[in-house]
Amino acid sequence: MTSESFEPNTPELLSHNTVFSSRFDQIHREVTPSRRLAIVTCMDSRMDIFQILGLKNGEAHIIRNAGGVITDDVIRSLCLSQRQMGTSEIILMHHSDCGLQLIDEDEFRADIEAEIGIRPWWALESFADPYDDVRQSIQRLYMTPFLIHKEYLRGFVYDVDTGLLHEVELSHR
């Protein structure tokens, strides 16, 4: 898609917001998630986390990034979620057909460096198998000293073709 043919979405989205706000129920919701749940998942637009899990606004913190990987920023968000907002359960949710499975991290970083002259200082965290990466992510959470609740930590892979969640079995803890 060229920039000449692109039409920004923001004007239409702001119009939708005007309609939304006119019907807004104005019920104050607490900042603390009512289910005491935090979910770490991918930013993939095919995943509507509220629909997949049958959640409503105010019930869980949803933390999203490319791949749903456990980065320092995700640990920062989970730490705040637990220590200041009372969450005690964590669900990790990767998915099938993830874009990070298709990217060679070294090539990606080299291409950016060739284009702009600076190699990214952050890890892309690409992976081949979402099940293995969920296991890796769970291990990262078990190892961090910043989280106070790790007893209710589970990982899943969402199948984008069937809508089903498949629990990831851990080899050890």
How far apart are the C-alpha atoms of 146 and 36, rounded to whole Å? 17
How is the beta sheet containing 60-65 ordered, strand by strand?
A: 60-65, 37-42, 89-95, 152-158, 165-167
Report DSSP state, residue 102: G
pLDDT confidence of residue 22: 87
Report DSSP state, residue 169: P
Tell me the pLDDT tens digit for each residue of 31-48: 899 999 999 999 999 999
pLDDT confidence of residue 4: 78
Could you give the domains of the chain?
A: 30-167 (3.40.1050.10)
Work out the average pLDDT over 110-134.
Answer: 96
Average pLDDT of the chain to the nearest whole number: 94
pTM above 0.95, yes or no: no
